[in-house]
Structure 1
Amino acid sequence: MEGSGKTPELSQGNRDQEMAELAKEVKDLQRKVEGGRDRPIALSLLSASPFSMRIQEYRAPRDFKCPTMPTYDGMEDPSDHLIRFQAKMMVIGAEDPMYCRAFFSTLGGAAQQWFLSLPPRSINRFETLAEQFLTYFAGSMKTKKHFMDLTTIQQGETETLKEFLKRWQKEVQTVEDLNDQTTLTLFVEALRSGDLFTSLRRETPETYAQAVQRANKYAEIEEALRQKRRREAKSHRDEARARPVDRSSKWEDRPNID
């Protein structure tokens, strides 16, 4: 009788524990359905990683140092951020799983929230992550111009070659689908008539890069000449100020008031 009296009490305790665990599971499920806003980010990362097990189980080399770079918050061009990140990771020789795992550290704000919203284990390589990143933030990409827009760019009459090259390079970066020979032709025609224009027309380089290299050399010479002329003009002014005044001649030129 004594043993049978204890059994219901133990069963009731087990049922209470099971009910408590079930209530906890229901509460956790409700939080996930509602978006999980009250869950700590650390728990969300651990329980709902967007990476496959291959990436999660990857162990970085002991000497690996994650590159430092500005965080991306969704406001700037995502392709610019992606290129900077890939360049830094390429320099240190990182492997594909490390690309994936290090990328999250370069995100902030809306971009960080986007990353946390990716379906669990949906990313198995960095190429997939990069494509989804560019697609989601496509609205922040810079609008590219047509190459014909470059036909309106002309070197000004008083614009130095150095100033023009800086302006031209900035405009070229905004144009899409621009091949090398078209860029070369438009560049030459945009130049003001002068030594560089004559040189490029007389001996046209094979590539646009070669034309820019020649233009940079001409710009350096032009700037050196400008600086030399300024020094010479200043020297002439200083000599004129230092030249002694012939007071006798000035006295002779004064009118006779007697």
Structure 2
Amino acid sequence: MTNISKSPFTNEIEQAEPPCKFSMPHFTFFKWDEDLKRHLKHYRNAIILYRSNNDLMCKIFATTLQGKVQDWFYTLLPQSIWSFDKFSLVFTKEHSSYCSIKKKFYHLFNVKKDPNESLPDYVKRFKVKKEKIVGCNDSIAKATFQK
């Protein structure tokens, strides 16, 4: 009982058992510097069959946290999380600065080659920036690269 009282989850969540024949879906782990929205979408999709089981949603989500995020989880006040909605809200508020900002193709115009940067290094950096832009087609990327 001592460990349960230190958990951010209510006793009801902590004591809940998984349903019969529960099979743990595959999850990616969330680390401090990753995309929060992507992680939540992945999690919700992976556990879609158990969405109505609030206790399970909370407990399993906590297992997807790693490193500093897991440390953060244990700093939450004991018994302060009573639902997955509350958990995801607290999680989102804490880690919202890591949400990816949606960028448009014209952001590529700001990617310039540094004078001391080799061409291969510049191309790699440009490609990384391009990949972060949703829906950026190759003709636009080519035009911005040539510019």
Regarding TM over 0.5, the answer is yes
- Please state if 1:48 is matched with 2:30: no
Q: Say which structure is richer in helix.
A: 1
How many residues end up aligned between the 2 structures? 117
Distance 1:169 1:73, change over 3 A: closer
Tell me how far apart the structure 2 counterparts of residues 115 and 78 of structure 1 sit (CA, whole Å): 15
- Please state if 1:77 is matched with 2:35: yes
**Contiguous gaps of at least 5 residues in structure 1:** 1-42, 154-167, 175-186, 191-258
Partner of residue 88 from structure 1, selected from 46, 54, 76: 46
8 Å contact from structure 2 (residues 57, 84) kept in 1: yes
Cα displacement (A) at 1:94: 5.5
**Aligned residues with identical type, % of pairs:** 26
Query: Which shifted more, 111-120 or 67-76?
Result: 67-76
8 Å contact from structure 2 (residues 35, 100) kept in 1: yes
Cα displacement (A) at 1:46: 3.4
Tell me how far apart the structure 1 counterparts of residues 56 and 107 of structure 2 sit (CA, whole Å): 45
Give the corresponding residue for 1:26: none
Give the TM-score normalised by the residue count of structure 2: 0.66
1:159-178 alignment runs, 5 A limit: 171-172=133-134
- Please state if 1:104 is matched with 2:62: yes
Cα displacement (A) at 1:44: 8.0
CA RMSD of aligned residues (A): 3.0
Distance 1:173 1:118, change over 3 A: farther
Give the TM-score normalised by the residue count of structure 1: 0.39
**Contiguous gaps of at least 5 residues in structure 2:** 109-129, 141-147
- Helix, strand or coil for the counterpart of 2:133? helix
Give the corresponding residue for 2:143: none
Q: Which has the higher contact order (CA 8 A, sep 6+)?
A: 2
Distance 1:61 1:91, change over 3 A: closer
Segments of 4+ moved more than 6 angstroms: none
Rg comparison, structure with higher value: 1
1:127-142 alignment runs, 5 A limit: 127-142=85-100
8 Å contact from structure 1 (residues 75, 140) kept in 2: yes
Deviations 1:146-177 (A, max 9, x none): xxx45799xxxxxxxxxxxxxx9963469xxx
Tell me how far apart the structure 1 counterparts of residues 85 and 50 of structure 2 sit (CA, whole Å): 18
Give the corresponding residue for 2:84: 126
Distance 1:93 1:143, change over 3 A: closer
